[in-house]
Amino acid sequence: MPSRKTAIVTGSTSGIGLAIAHALAAEGCNIVVNSFSDTADDQAITDAIAKHHGVKTAYIKADMSKPAECRALVAKAAETFGSVDILVNNAGIQHVASVEEFPIEKWDAIIAINLSSAFHTIAAAIPLMKQAGGGRIVNIASAHGLVASPFKSAYVSAKHGIMGLTKTVALELARDKITCNAICPGYVLTPLVEAQIPDQMKANKMDRDTVVREVMLEKQPTKEFVTVEQVAAAAVFLCSDAAAQINGTHI
């Protein structure tokens, strides 16, 4: 991967997003770190990436539920580094409840952050990538972009939407040397997954160990969690020259 490309990774102060930020920085990319907060910890995480990998970084706060802030994130990244070459849409939230008990505000928030934010960042990044002669878009979907589980109507709907968006963008931009692909991991042990275990315990009337074993890992052939580093490695590959002809699909 050519060095000193600029990569935006949304939702990148923890979990999968942070691992991807580190992995792309290790390849020489300047990194835009993003979250919805604006704390000393966020800046410390951003500075640590720069120090460890010898690249430039910037922390840009954006509430990914708000279209204007999604688009402003991309504009600020381009203003800071001069280009946007890689966009990784990773920001996401979760809520576990039955359809009949699912709070409307939770549905709206999950669709906004997990699906609509990707549309807005992609739309803002396209002109910049065209100007640069190409680019890479990676959407972090989920196994729930391919199949469904009970009690996750909003999350499953959003991730299925990400798959449709990925394919549409890939077809529209194929001749512009811009690829758009998705990553669909099974359960990854992140703060997002840890946070949903109590809700899964309540919804399924199970203890913690049973939820992990029978709900989360039951359908994973290895019976193990995916690691954030494994997801990050897939993202780096999709952003590489070797993946130039991989477009509109998922890993």
Which domain CATH number covers 36? 3.40.50.720
Print the domain residue range for 87: 6-187+227-243
Q: What does the pLDDT read at residue 3?
A: 52
Q: Tens digits of per-residue pLDDT, 140-181?
A: 999 999 999 999 999 999 999 999 999 999 999 999 999 999
**Sign of torsion over alpha carbons 124, 4, 89, 182:** positive
User: 21-45 burial by CB neighbour count: b if 16+ within 10 A, else e?
Assistant: bbbbbbbebbbbbbbbeeeeebeeb
Q: Based on the structure, what is the number of domains in the chain?
A: 1
Helices (H), ranges, 54-116:
67-81, 104-111
Q: Mean pLDDT throughout 22-44?
A: 97
Asked if residue 149 belongs to a domain, the reply is: yes
Would you say residue 2 has pLDDT above 50?
no
Q: Tens digits of per-residue pLDDT, 80-128?
A: 999 999 999 999 999 999 999 999 999 999 999 999 999 999 999 999 9
Asked if residue 212 belongs to a domain, the reply is: no
Asked if residue 234 belongs to a domain, the reply is: yes
Asked if residue 93 belongs to a domain, the reply is: yes
Asked if residue 194 belongs to a domain, the reply is: no
Asked if residue 15 belongs to a domain, the reply is: yes
3-state secondary structure of 139: strand
Closest C-alpha among 2, 119, 136 to residue 71: 119
Q: What is the pTM of this model?
A: 0.93
Asked if residue 218 belongs to a domain, the reply is: no
Kindly list the strands in the beta sheet with 135-140, ordered across the sheet, starting from the edge strand earlier in the chain: 57-61, 30-35, 6-9, 86-89, 135-140, 178-183
Would you say residue 29 has pLDDT above 60?
yes
Asked if residue 30 belongs to a domain, the reply is: yes
Q: Mean pLDDT throughout 51-62?
A: 98
Q: Tens digits of per-residue pLDDT, 181-216?
A: 999 999 998 888 888 899 889 989 999 999 999 988
Would you say residue 68 has pLDDT above 70?
yes
155 a catalytic residue? yes
Point out the catalytic residue in the list 59, 107, 155, 225: 155
